[in-house]
Amino acid sequence: MKSEQKHKGKTYKDFGCTSIGASDIAALTIRAGAEVKSLNFGTDGCYYAYIVTEPAEIGAHYTRVASFNSPWIKIYDDEGKTFDKYVDGTQTINIYRAGNVAAIIEFCKYAISD
């Protein structure tokens, strides 16, 4: 279930946007807990993500592409680690993508099932 169906009030745009890396192959690598996944983009370049740390509406044009049961996440680009964040109390981290380069990293204090 998408976050916009659970929360009203704040939206992802109320949170800061930060660099999560750059790539010549249009992909970053995510590590969260024991899981490792590729985050694929529509074009090579620099990527930024909204970092959502409270309940918020996620735009309908975003699609959840990954979920992790972990309170921390690390992201690596072509050169090395570019993003590292831990949020105490987090049960699930969701990654959303839209368009060629848009991303959201959502830290949830509740478990989400598909």
pLDDT digits (tens, 9 = 90+) for 2-36: 444 455 689 999 999 999 999 999 999 999 989 99
Residue 80 within a domain? yes
Q: Please compute the mean of the pLDDT values over residues 42-64 and round it to a whole number.
A: 95
Model pLDDT, residue 1: 38
- Nearest of 26, 35, 109, 103 to residue 64 by alpha carbon: 103
Residue 58 within a domain? yes
Residue 113 within a domain? no
Number of domains in the chain: 1
pLDDT digits (tens, 9 = 90+) for 20-29: 999 999 999 9
Model pLDDT, residue 88: 87
CA–CA separation, 1 and 49 (whole Å): 21
Look up the CATH number of the domain holding residue 77: 2.60.34
In terms of residue numbers, what domain contains 69?
A: 3-108
* Confidence label for 112 from pLDDT (cuts 50, 70 and 90): low
- 52 Rama class: left (phi>0) / alpha (psi -120 to 50) / beta: beta
Residue 45 within a domain? yes
Report the side by side order of strands in the sheet with 72-76: 35-40, 27-32, 72-76, 81-86
- Is the pLDDT assigned to residue 110 strictly greater than 90? no
pLDDT digits (tens, 9 = 90+) for 56-103: 999 999 999 999 999 999 999 999 999 999 988 888 999 999 999 999
Residue 114 within a domain? no
